[in-house]
Amino acid sequence: MNRLDVLDWRRRVAALYARVRELDPAAGHAVWVAGREELFATHPAGPLLPADRERFTGLPVAAYDPALRFEVPVEPAAPLRREAVTGTDGTVVFERVGAVALPGVGTLDVWWLDQYGGGLFVPLKDPGPGYGGGRYVLDTVKGADLGSTGRGLVVDLNFAYPPSCAYDPVWACPLPPPGNVVDVAVRAGELAGPWGTP
């Protein structure tokens, strides 16, 4: 894997999410699952270790649940700065720009990656069957962006996925801080599976 491979991965992820935004949510979810599985199985910048790629048969993803898709305003929240020290990216700085209230689930902080280019970041940690270190719902820097509607930011927990460090320890990933931890088990999105997840 080289940097041009990573660039291509990010372009493909951004294109995948652009396609998802054109479709109704359930159809978009099916396209997302198939697209991620193809990338994991074939792309040189995919996060699977070589041995895991050889035995890869698909990602463990829950069936689409429309009750876990929200279009919500980003509500004000007290300013907060968070620095995540990573082994691969140095210190990554986040600024809290607000929060989203997800009925029946809880409230999640919305972060701005305060680095070159910037972007929104919404991680999630729950006691359900997802990756124990938490999952990402939005990471617009890397193309994981479900967009907005007239009602607000699209936060669809069916698109939650583990960060790359769940599959390969060479990656260092910011994990959800306390404001992104909920008590409700979120049985949606990509769940814990045999591909390097605990």
Q: pLDDT, tens digit, for every residue of 140-174? A: 999 999 999 999 999 999 999 998 888 888 777 88
Question: Would you say residue 174 lies in a domain?
Answer: yes
Output the pLDDT for position 193. 61
Which one-letter DSSP state was computed for residue 75? B
Output the pLDDT for position 1. 64
Question: Would you say residue 192 lies in a domain?
Answer: no
Report how far residue 6's alpha carbon sits from residue 63's, in angstroms, rounded to the nearest whole number. Answer: 29
**Across the strands, what pairs with 126?**
none
Low-confidence ranges of the chain (pLDDT < 70): 1, 87-89, 193-198
| Long-range pairs for 46-52: beta carbons < 8 A, 24 or more residues apart | 46/9, 47/164, 47/166, 47/167, 47/168, 47/171, 47/196, 48/167, 48/168, 48/195, 48/196, 49/167, 49/168, 49/196, 52/167, 52/194, 52/195, 52/196
**Are residues 156 and 146 in contact, defined by beta-carbon separation less than 8 angstroms?**
yes
Question: Would you say residue 96 lies in a domain?
Answer: yes
Q: Which domain holds residue 117?
A: 3-180
Output the pLDDT for position 167. 86
Output the pLDDT for position 127. 93
Question: Would you say residue 191 lies in a domain?
Answer: no
Output the pLDDT for position 196. 43
Output the pLDDT for position 128. 85
Q: How many CB atoms lie within 10 A of CB 112?
A: 16
Which amino acid, residue 128? G
- Tokens found for residue 17: 């999410």
Tally of domains in the chain? 1
Question: Would you say residue 188 lies in a domain?
Answer: no
Question: Would you say residue 108 lies in a domain?
Answer: yes
Output the pLDDT for position 43. 95
Output the pLDDT for position 197. 41
Question: Would you say residue 185 lies in a domain?
Answer: no
Output the pLDDT for position 198. 35
Output the pLDDT for position 134. 92
Question: Would you say residue 190 lies in a domain?
Answer: no
